[in-house]
Amino acid sequence: MSEEEGIDWGTMGIDPDDLGGRAEAKPGKKRWRRQFIKFPWAWMDRLVATKRPTTYRLALVLVYEHWRTGGRAIVLSNTIVRREGISTRSKWNALAELEQMGLIAVEKRRRRSPRVSLLELAGP
């Protein structure tokens, strides 16, 4: 855009020298991503015997959610587990396996997401 195009920048109060560079676009807001979690060694010892890798992944999700919610029971929606690449069927299989190992207690609710409580484990 120049004066040759019929624009009188002076009447608009704009300095034509300021138009040379484009304003830099602000980079998109970075989405916060979890960096690490504290994981109990007692859980690690028990999870060695898992049959499925998704059980271990779900255990990591549960420990993180337990910390995030301040130790309250976790309502484990399909959305939470899908974000971590775990299918609904795998979620239920992993919950059953973790419950059988004595790591969690699951309150199954008809037509609603299960409520999961992590059980305290004494060290060896």
In a domain, 81, yes or no: yes
Each residue of 72-115: pLDDT tens digit?
999 999 999 999 999 999 999 999 999 999 999 999 999 999 99
In a domain, 84, yes or no: yes
In a domain, 102, yes or no: yes
Most confident of 20-24, 67-71, 89-93: 89-93
What domain count does the chain have?
1
Query: Which CATH number goes with the domain that contains 90?
Result: 1.10.10
Query: Token match 């916060």: residue?
Result: 32
Give the whole-angstrom CA distance, residue 28 versus residue 101.
Answer: 43
Supply the range of the domain harboring residue 66: 51-118
In a domain, 35, yes or no: no
pLDDT > 70 fraction of the chain, expressed in percent and rounded: 70
More confident residue, 120 or 24: 120
Give the whole-angstrom CA distance, residue 94 versus residue 87.
Answer: 10
In a domain, 89, yes or no: yes
* Whether the Cβ atoms of residue 16 and residue 9 lie closer than 8 Å to each other: yes
Specify the pTM: 0.70
In a domain, 43, yes or no: no
Any idea which of 3-7, 70-74, 115-119 has the lowest mean pLDDT? Answer: 3-7
